Amino acid sequence: MFSIKKTKLHKALAHALGNLEALTKRLKVMQESPDSPRKKIVISSKELYVSSLGEGTKMVVEAHSDKSALFIRPARLSDEKTRVVSKRTYKNRDYVEPVVDIRHQRDINATIGDAEYVHVIFQKDGAWVRPATKYQEIALKQPSGARFDMTMPDEEGLYSQILKAIKITKQSHFSSIILNTSDDFLQSKEYVILCVQLRRLGFAIKEMNNLVYAKLPRSPELDSHKYIDLANYNYKTNFKSMATRFNFSEPLSSFAACTAGVDIHAMENEGFKTTSILEYRPPEKRDFKKSIDKTTGETVIKHNDKTDTGALCALLNSKHAKVVFNEDIYEFDFYRVSKLLPKFNHLHCSIQCDDFSNMKSNSLKDISIDDLSTTIDMFIPALELADMTNTPTMLVENVANFGKSIECRLLTTGLKWLGHEVETHNYNAADFNGMTKRVRAYLFSSQLGLDDIKATPVPRQAHAWNDVIAPRLNELRDVTHCKTIKKGIDTGRIRVINVGDAIVPTIVKSQSRQVKDSVYVYMNGRYYMPSNDMLKALMGIPADFNTGPFSEEITSEITGQSIEYPMHQAICGKIKQHIYQFMKSFFDLKMITVHA
């Protein structure tokens, strides 16, 4: 039996992993030692339980017959050459983790080659390990170039052609690009977004006389660049009629992307069945700890890997998950995993909000663009996902500023190119019996014919102080003495819950780290930090939402960046009505056609 941790909560997580049909992730190929040319692939992951490869299990590692992959599977009685899945223990953690360590150089070289990363698919019969080839590796095999005209905005004043240029570039794997531009374009937000996307692919960018040259390192100089007319390019690539595409047997089937599970819980309380999850928590600076090796005196950096925490929390809190993609949405290759994806009718995507939030300073936003930690362009892979899956309906949730941004307008344009009707609304949690002042932008799009989808506010009944704070005063922690309290007061950014408040300030992702924007309870001249359970209750998150297997810091992050539960559930209820209305209209029309 699984032994992630000897508690009911961690057994529940192990059970959820064991019930999955598939889980995917990317891993870095490592060297055996800094000076060694020998490579190794180490899979130290709870996800091995999906493939029944728990610690102590006899296993076989074999190269596929066509040398396209390594296959790791539980050993059969007839197998002669077997190995045993080892384990890894951690200080201050009451669980072990199974480990598969592959070092057979002939098999690695034959199947993985020079790839820096591998893509792993954990399935019931075993785990498949394949090279995760980068854009540059493909593009440099047969170098080619393209030229795009970016001088003319569309009828709404947007340089929406960047969406087509990005898509064509990714599909064609160009190694060199020339852009005809204008001064206005070079000063636009669209140009910044385009550059971020090209830099993610590995391009170096140079401007010269209203021409922009984007070139991959080591790409040869090309004699010519093929001109591509973006105005006549059909953006949509995947089309099926709704009669073929729509999942009539499971009308509320859904695919949730960029989620730690709170939105899934709200959706499923409205009857949705979230069968697929795409989630990845990017590494953050505080996840890396420096220490000094006592033997060598060298500085050692250890990474506390939390990239799977959101995905596992989402899995634990979904009743219907079949496939989990623990992958960065920027690197997600739909075509690699399309056969794993159950048919669905609704795509839900909560793209990262940091770079649209007033909580993040403009200087930090600029820095994140320079180092590519920005997420201003995350709407593009979300749009690509809508295109590749030909989703009938889509909901995108973000902070209020997103609704009036260039990014939202570009996303709207792209969805319209895909045949969607689109509407965007800002909603206030307080209007949906919520207990916080959280305001969120919701973009909803549909290929089913857009009817009245706007959610209707409800009468207020909930009261933050009376319902949550007063009954749980014992859960408050006095933090008046902390320096962050003084900083929050001095800067005017401290946010407080006062005695008797019915509605409280918005809770943020960094709440537990006691930043200047954290929310505190102010009572009798003292400042108190609310517990995570109180914060969840203030967000309207039901008590059965399970974060038990995760640290207090991760739980606080999940809560602070989640949706406001009552508001989100109300919006999901309207989407459910929309989908059922389509089904009714479809069958009514079918009956009329048959009788005619």
Encode pLDDT of 492-505 as tens digits: 889 999 999 999 99
d(CA 247, CA 567): 26
What DSSP element (H or E) covers 582? helix 565-595
Q: Which residues pair with 27 in a beta bridge?
A: 118
Encode pLDDT of 356-411 as tens digits: 888 788 998 899 999 999 999 999 999 999 999 999 999 999 999 999 999 999 99
Tokens 């493909």 belong to: 138
| Closest by CA position to 236, among listed 447, 405, 406 | 447
Per-residue pLDDT at 8 exceeds 60 = no
Handedness of CA 99, 105, 110, 116 (dihedral sign): positive
The amino acid at residue 595 is H
Residue 545 token pair: 């939402």
Per-residue pLDDT at 92 exceeds 70 = no
Q: What is the mean pLDDT of the chain?
A: 90
- Please give the share of the chain, as a percent, with pLDDT higher than 90: 71
* Residue 5: band (very low, low, confident or very high) from pLDDT cuts 50, 70, 90: very low
pLDDT, mean of residues 510-518: 83
pLDDT of residue 319: 94
d(CA 569, CA 559): 16
Q: 220-227 contacts: CB < 8 A, separation 24 or more?
A: 220/143, 220/175, 222/143, 222/144, 222/145, 222/175, 222/176, 224/145, 225/145, 225/146, 225/147, 225/176, 225/177, 225/178, 226/144, 226/145, 226/146, 226/147, 227/146, 227/147
Per-residue pLDDT at 594 exceeds 90 = no
pLDDT of residue 450: 75
pLDDT of residue 287: 76
Which of 192-196, 549-553, 576-580 shows the lowest per-residue confidence on average (mean pLDDT)?
549-553
By the 8 A CB rule, do 245 and 390 touch? yes
pLDDT of residue 90: 65
pLDDT of residue 505: 92
pLDDT of residue 125: 93
Per-residue pLDDT at 1 exceeds 70 = no
* Residue 3: band (very low, low, confident or very high) from pLDDT cuts 50, 70, 90: very low
The amino acid at residue 247 is N
Model pTM? 0.92
| Closest by CA position to 144, among listed 233, 37, 43, 220 | 220
pLDDT, mean of residues 74-94: 83
What DSSP element (H or E) covers 439? strand 439-446
pLDDT of residue 6: 43
pLDDT, mean of residues 341-361: 90
Encode pLDDT of 417-447 as tens digits: 999 999 999 999 999 999 999 999 999 999 9
pLDDT of residue 596: 39
Q: What domains, with CATH codes, occur in the chain?
A: 8-132 (no CATH), 137-232 (3.30.110), 254-456+565-585 (3.40.50.150), 464-539+550-560 (no CATH)
Q: Give the HSE-up count for residue 251: Cα atoms under 13 Å, Cβ half-sphere.
A: 16
The amino acid at residue 475 is E
* Residue 167: band (very low, low, confident or very high) from pLDDT cuts 50, 70, 90: very high
Encode pLDDT of 239-292 as tens digits: 777 778 899 999 999 999 999 999 999 999 999 999 999 999 988 777 777 777
pLDDT, mean of residues 288-297: 72
pLDDT of residue 257: 96
| Closest by CA position to 311, among listed 257, 266, 354 | 257
Which residues, other chains included, contact 13 with Cβ-Cβ below 8 Å and sequence gap of 6+? 4, 46, 312, 315, 316, 549
Encode pLDDT of 23-78 as tens digits: 999 999 999 888 888 999 999 888 899 999 988 999 999 998 888 999 999 999 99
pLDDT of residue 9: 55
pLDDT of residue 242: 77
Which residues, other chains included, contact 365 with Cβ-Cβ below 8 Å and sequence gap of 6+? 355, 374, 376
